[in-house]
Amino acid sequence: MQTSTLLTLFLTSLTSIASAAPAPAAASAAAPTSTTAIPRPTGVITESFDAPTQSKKRSSDDLFKRTDTRCYDSDTFNTNDYWALENSFWSHTDWLYLAATKGQSWSIGSVRVCAGNKYVFENTHIYVRNIGDAMAVVGGCCVASTCAGGISSIRGDSGLLVDVWTIPQWKTCHDTW
């Protein structure tokens, strides 16, 4: 009696697992297989950059726990420029391809936002609107008319963490990577 009850529970759980099949590919929002040009709002400057050839020393916390938000404490930029750049990402519903060790930056006025794929052998696509989400998180660092920026992370379609950091416009993403 007890064996048949366990067998029934086991078969019932297998049936429920089998019925939880993933949705067809047409119903899921997958990243595109080709790179598309992203229209940019007026005044936003877009640039690509490569990973530095020599890596800066990083602590193990920086390497393995990159989802935290850290605020910078110097080299400020105008907070209004920051909010304008953040708001420019909200209307985008497209994906951006980031090859291994490559990045993309956007700047307006006195602020620049960088998104970098620090992985050596893995490519990914990032949902462009998520850059605005990361900027909103870092925006908590901005408490006055000037801001020092910070760093946060977003996930690509392949599950990779992509760092998003804000810096003054006169700095380069390559140098602050």
Where is pLDDT greater, at 77 or 6? Answer: 77
Nearest to 120 by CA among 67, 157, 160: 160
- Cβ partners under 8 Å of residue 13, min gap 6: none
* In the chain, domain spans: 68-177
**Which alpha helices (DSSP H) does the chain contain, by range?**
2-19, 60-64, 79-87, 128-138, 173-176
Cβ(167)–Cβ(138) below 8 Å: no
pLDDT tens digit sequence for 22-58: 444 444 445 444 444 444 556 676 777 676 554 544 4
pLDDT in tens, 43-98: 676 777 676 554 544 444 444 444 455 677 667 888 889 899 999 998 888 999 99
How much is the pTM?
Answer: 0.64
